[in-house]
Structure 1
Amino acid sequence: MSSTIVHSPPLTPSANPEGGAVAAAEGDDREEKNPFLVALGERVRALRARRGMTRKAVALAADVSERHLANLEYGVGNASILILLQVAQALQCSLAELIGDVTTSSPEWLLIRELLEHRDEATLHRVRVAVGEMLGTGGAHGQGGAQRSARVALIGLRGAGKSTLGQMLADDLGFPFVELSREIEQFAGCSIAEIQALYGQNAYRRYERRALEEAIQIYPEAVIATPGGIVSDPATFNLLLAHCTTVWLQASPEDHMKRVVAQGDLRPMAASREAMDDLRGILAGREAFYSKADLRVDTSAQSLAGAFDALRRAVRQLLQLPL
């Protein structure tokens, strides 16, 4: 692109030493720029400087126009995800680093991220436990012979049997039974449906975290029935794994649906096929998190009495309690 050097005013876009591609990039100062796009542009410039590359060189490597890249750098270019991927590849960095993921926000984060990249799940689990122990969050409970927590948390989708089996287990162990959903409602002063309708999902997750923190603080021994989505928030789930012995109560999607309907919730029947597809999708999306539990009991494979006996035996053995 040709450029004409203009001596007045002194800071015209076309006089930029990297070419005249910033004519639109500096844009109209009268328009307020989006803070995210501005921060994105600053990261692109910083990464380019770190690599010692000119804007023209990055544009060529990314197969985008220099003007497009200049717009991006000055926070006025709302680039598609594919363009961002091309720019990241040209800068030899991850897309996460380009968009500002926290794990790329400092040299130490980047070095830790590189150490953990491509490690298998077993190795990552050991690292997570070791980090939890080092930070004093209780991440190593039950590891290497350490005593297991006597707080038993039941996780799984609604309809897995957490309330019914949880109360039975609490009675058997002589522990308090805590229904975390009820605790959340007490904190909020309204039902869970009202929390989500009035305040949104983020507010609900804050109440959920607060309820779990209080349960952990109050009860050294307890059986806790958790909401099905507690695994959706990594901070809350980390807290649960660190301070509780966890049991995943599994069930088939069909049993989940039947039990929810039996509890009086007829909403799934309005569009049963779509509801079942959604349920399968949620279960598939959460399975990898539920599988982090210390124990798992399949409540679809046996009667209520059989499921309770399996749960009771597994928990007592793990806590080293008499059968």
Structure 2
Amino acid sequence: MASKTGPRGNADEPASAGAPEAGDPEAEFLTVLGQRVRTMRAVRAMSRKMLSQTSGLSERYIAQLEGGQGNVSIILLRRVALAMGVRLEDLIASVEGPPDWPVVRDLLQKAGAEQIAEAKRVLSGAAAPGEGPAQRVALIGLRGAGKSTLGRILAERMGWSFVELNREIERENGLSVAEIFAIYGQETYRRLEQGALRRLAERPGPMVLATGGGIVAEPVTFDLLLSSFFTVWLKARPEEHIHRVREQAAKGLVPARLPDTDNALRELRAVLMSREPLYARARAVIDTADHTVAETAATLTALVEGHLGNGARRGA
């Protein structure tokens, strides 16, 4: 047999599952993947036999891969990528990048922190340091952190407009956030969230923005927030988050759909632990633990006034 197999013979090569069905997203992904492998192999003037010999995979498997057939093992696909001298992520990228993307990516990998920061600023359309609107504050943190309550108080004291990002998304799309998640899923919600935030960043006038707790989950969206707003993390203990959400539910301010306390605390601690390094990228942190709303509001107002400097308290 002309082609080689893996260390365990053909057993590590999946059998073909037949021709993919039209309209099946997974089948379409396999088709695109196969086209990319075939194109990259052709660009490198590699025959299937040569790729087979270099990767240790059979020509039959490579033919199936290029034809968009069968299940694809990530380990075997990695071997194909290594054999062709390409990056695995270039084979499985969800969308095609611009022609210059490989060059840009390689330059970014060699760039320093300041160069990367400048590239992000230019690509996001954010203002240069010192040129952006100073009278813009965004509050981040977990659900129950007090973002809406404190945001309204701060906006009233400063004479600024107050915006809740989730309410803006609902207004623009005619659906509640819960309906967007249920019908379209998280990926669509994150896309709508980014679009709404970008439009708010371009809106003139001073503003206090209360964000959703998961805005840190999408890197591009979070970078846009950090570059366009003076961002403050409202920090609290998980127990306090739970207590505040339950109080809000009792007042009818949020849906009363909370799990039992023990499970809720475990889940909240896990979420907070994963998000803390991201929340910590905010320009300032206010620990609300053991403080009343009035005390925290006073701290937040003083923080923002200090950021703005003397004589900049009232919005235009």
Percent identity over the alignment? 43
User: Using a 3 Å threshold, how does the CA distance of structure 1 residues 240 and 80 change in structure 2: closer, same or farther?
Assistant: same
Partner in structure 2 of residue 177 of structure 1:
162
Gaps of 5+ in 2: 4-14, 250-254
The residue type equivalent to 1:192 in the other structure is V
Of the three residues 73, 87, 99, the one matched with 1:94 is 87
Q: Alignment partner for residue 165 of structure 1, among 142, 150, 164?
A: 150
**How far apart in 1 are the matches of 2:274 and 2:110?**
21
* Greater C-alpha radius of gyration: 1
Q: Which amino acid aligns with 1:149?
A: A
Q: Where does residue 316 of structure 1 map in the other structure?
A: 305
Alignment of 1:210-229 (within 5 A): 210-229=195-214
Identify if the C-alpha distance between structure 1 residues 197 and 318 changes in structure 2 by more than 3 Å, giving closer, same or farther.
same
- The alpha carbon displacement at 1:163 in A equals 1.3
TM-score, normalised to structure 1's length? 0.76
User: Measured at CA, do residues 251 and 119 of structure 1 come closer, stay the same or move farther in structure 2, by a change above 3 Å?
Assistant: farther
Checking the alignment, whether the CA contact within 8 Å between 2:121 and 2:227 is kept in structure 1 is: no
- Residue equivalent to 1:267: 257
Structure 1 unpaired stretches of 5+: 4-23
1:67 aligned to 2:51? no
Distance 1:58 1:273 in 2: 55
Q: How far off its partner does 1:221 sit?
A: 0.2
- Is residue 151–residue 219 contact of structure 1 (8 Å, CA) maintained in 2? no
Distance in 2 (alpha carbons) for counterparts of 1:268 and 1:200: 21
| 2:10 alignment counterpart | none
Q: Give runs of ≥4 in structure 1 deviating > 4 Å.
A: 27-33
SS of the aligned residue for 2:160 comes to: coil
- Paired residue secondary structure (1:78): coil
Distance 1:43 1:245 in 2: 43
Residue 232 (str. 1) matches residue 217 (str. 2): yes
Secondary structure class of the residue paired with 2:167? helix
Which residue matches 2:11? none
Q: What is the aligned counterpart of 1:155 among 107, 116, 140? A: 140
CA distance in 2, matches of 1:210, 1:39: 28
**1:114 is aligned with what amino acid?**
D
CA distance in 2, matches of 1:228, 1:173: 24
> Compared with structure 1, are the counterparts of its residues 206 and 165 closer, same or farther at alpha carbon in structure 2 (3 Å cutoff)?
same
Distance in 1 (CA, whole Å) between partners of 2:84 and 2:126 is 39
Amino acid aligned to 1:74: G
> Partners in 1 of 2:308 and 2:109 — Cα distance?
34
Preserved contact between residue 124 and residue 224 of structure 2 (Cα < 8 Å) = no
1:66-111, CA deviations, whole angstroms, 9 ceiling, x for partnerless residues?
A: 2212211222132111211222222222210121355x74552112
The whole-number CA distance in structure 2 between the counterparts of 1:30 and 1:148 is 52
* RMSD (CA atoms): 3.3
Q: TM-score, normalised by structure 2?
A: 0.77
8 Å Cα contact 1:216-1:243 kept in structure 2: yes
One-letter identity of the residue aligned with 2:71: N
Aligned to 1:35: 28
Is contact 1:177–1:222 with CA below 8 Å preserved after alignment?
yes
Counterpart pick for 1:131 among 113, 119, 127? 119
The match for 2:279 is: 290
Q: 1:277 aligns to what? A: 266
Distance 1:222 1:47 in 2: 49
Helix, strand or coil at the partner of 1:178: strand
CA 1:283–1:93: 2 relative to 1, 3 Å: farther
Distance 1:111 1:216, change over 3 A: closer
Q: 1:146 to 1:65 in 2, by over 3 A?
A: same
